[in-house]
Amino acid sequence: MIILIVAILLLGAVTYFFHRQEQKKLPREIGQSAPEETQAPPQECCGQHLVCERDSLLAGVSKEVEYYDDEELDAWKGTQPDAYTPQQEAFFREIFYTLRPDDVPGWVRSLQLRQIEVPESLRDEILLVVNEQRNAHK
């Protein structure tokens, strides 16, 4: 009786081992990426971005900077969000309000890639539009 139980357990273990090997090969043979277990996304946002890169509509799509007729903003690369003058904030606001709502997530991603922080006074408005766009794409 014990031999039968050990044989069944051994057969199960061998079957499981070969099944796992086959599952690892399958995505590569079809031309897909590796299994999800090796590509697990980060569980939490780092909090350093206006829009979490993990949840961004454009995350991983492109690392190339796209300009939205806002090349002038490059002058404020590295400026802290609370260090902008009212005139600079108005300039950001003017660009923001001339964008189509579906361009806002791309614009924010462009600013992130260019290392340009958005003024604190504009963040809530931008997040509102980005969240609306996310919900529209679900």
Q: What is the pLDDT at residue 33?
A: 47
Instruction: Over range 93-116, report the average pLDDT.
Output: 90
Q: Is residue 69 located within the same domain as residue 135?
A: yes
Q: Are residues 32 and 51 in the same domain?
A: no
- Mean pLDDT computed over 120-136: 85
Closest by Cα among 127, 82, 121 to 104: 127
Distance (Å, whole) CA 58 – CA 92: 21
Residues 45, 93 contacting (CB under 8 angstroms): no
Q: Give dist(CA 40, CA 118) in Å, integer.
A: 30
Residues 58 and 116 in one domain: yes
Number of domains in the chain: 2
Q: What is the mean pLDDT of residues 119-125?
A: 91
Q: Are residue 70 and residue 20 in the same domain, yes or no?
A: no
Give, for 49, the enclosing helix (H) or strand (E): none
Token pair recorded at residue 29: 């043979």
Nearest to 89 by CA among 78, 98, 76: 76
Q: Same structural domain for residues 19 and 48?
A: no
Tens of pLDDT, residues 18-70: 767 666 665 554 444 444 444 444 444 554 455 554 444 445 556 788 888 89
Residues 83 and 98 in one domain: yes
Question: Is 63 found in the same domain as 25?
Answer: no
Residues 6+ apart with CB under 8 A from 42: 54
49 and 31 in a common domain: no
**Same structural domain, 52 and 120:** yes
Longest dimension (CA), the chain: 85
Domain that holds residue 18: 2-38
Q: Which amino acid is at 111?
A: L
Q: What is the three-class DSSP state of 129?
A: helix
| Same domain, residue pair 63 and 30 | no
Residue 100 and residue 123 in one domain: yes
